[in-house]
Amino acid sequence: MAESLPERPHMADILAAAQRIRGQADATPLLPSALTERLGHPLWLKLETCQPMGAFKLRGALNALAQLPDSTRGVTCCSTGNHGRAVAYAARARGLRAVICMSELVPATKVEGIRALGAEVRLIGRSQDDAQLKATRLVREEGFTDIPPFDHPQVIAGQGTIGLEILQALPDLDTLIIPLSGGGLAAGVALAARTLSPGLRIVGVSMERGAAMQASLEAGRPVPVEEVESLADSLGGGIGLENRHSFALCRALLDEVVLLSEAEIYRAMQALYFEDRLVAEGGAAVGVGALLAGRIAAPGRTATIVTGRNVDMAQFTQVVTGQAVTLGDVTVPGQVWR
């Protein structure tokens, strides 16, 4: 049914998505942060950590799967992270077969996590590219539907429902800060938020190491970046050289993009843990990190999205106990929260 996909998502698609996901992935808490006093301006946290599979990606996956015809043979994707979990969860809710394709190098815990959500896992080859080839073959030979992680109008519309919920609760917000990777989240949320509040300032945040969207915005077209390990592992990966939707929307709607060092992400995870008592992934903490690092001038009444909680608990424990963390060829020095 690819022909019937809207060329690009509009506000009406986000409003329709809100109806489709109601009671399954909506209405996450929006709480004042305990960091408000330290920062000197109000800060609210939208807690997508409270989603049933632990991250906001459930919204986009549910919205995309809800629109598939009953004749759908099954769904597939090649994400090992939160998108794979979301597709597995949404497929089970819809009663569809899900086959998540992964490289043989993916850690066993990730494979188990996805299987526990009821999906089949195909381990194939030694890279993400091999896994994507397998997913593409399932589409061609077995009639499966590939659900891409961010560059898809219905996925973007699903993520955009977060923007609706934030601006409906806080119509006089000054600044909205959004974790940024492939830009499906930022595109949808910014579209909804800018429609409801045209004067709103919207800031994307990525990590310095491998910020594909920022590099692409600077180049004026999608460009590849080298993928490296980061505390914000959910923000890794490219935006796709054939990007059709998320790049154009981010270019049109984001006022600024801020990049954080690993030490700043480390500190943000500690801040959310010790001050707001939250377990958050590095990629989910970057909004708080940008504020703590003073990278956003005069933010005023601010909200950010704490996007997920599916963190490696061994690494999380190192961070909150102030130990050094080694990521490939770099080591983030230990530091104690204060």
Ligand X SMILES: *Cc1c(COP(=O)(O)O)cnc(C)c1O
Binding interface with ligand X (CB under 6 A):
55, 57, 81-82, 150, 179-186, 234-235, 281, 283-284, 307-308
C-beta of 210: minimal distance to ligand X in Å?
12
C-beta of 334: minimal distance to ligand X in Å?
24
Q: Which of residues 64 and 235 has its CB atom nearest to ligand X in the complex?
A: 235
Q: Which of residues 99 and 177 has its CB atom nearest to ligand X in the complex?
A: 177
The 8-class DSSP code of residue 183 comes to S
Residues 6+ apart with CB under 8 A from 311: 269, 279, 280, 281, 282
Q: Which of residues 164 and 336 has its CB atom nearest to ligand X in the complex?
A: 164
Instruction: Characterize the bridge pairing of strands 43-47 and 30-32.
Output: antiparallel
Sequence letter at residue 232: A
Instruction: Characterize the bridge pairing of strands 43-47 and 302-306.
Output: parallel
Q: How many CB atoms lie within 10 A of CB 326?
A: 11
Q: Which of residues 44 and 150 has its CB atom nearest to ligand X in the complex?
A: 150
C-beta of 6: minimal distance to ligand X in Å?
18
Max Cα distance, the chain (Å): 57
State the distance between the two ends of the chain, measured CA to CA, in whole angstroms. 54
* Alpha carbon distance 148, 64 (integer Å): 10
Q: Which of 229, 251, 225, 253 is nearest to 239 (CA)?
A: 225
Q: Which of residues 153 and 184 has its CB atom nearest to ligand X in the complex?
A: 184
C-beta of 278: minimal distance to ligand X in Å?
13
C-beta of 70: minimal distance to ligand X in Å?
28
C-beta of 34: minimal distance to ligand X in Å?
21
Q: What's the alpha-carbon Rg for the chain, to the nearest Å? A: 19
Q: Which of residues 144 and 247 has its CB atom nearest to ligand X in the complex?
A: 247
Tell me the residue number closest to ligand X, measured at CB.
Answer: 308
Kind and range of the H or E element at 77? strand 75-77
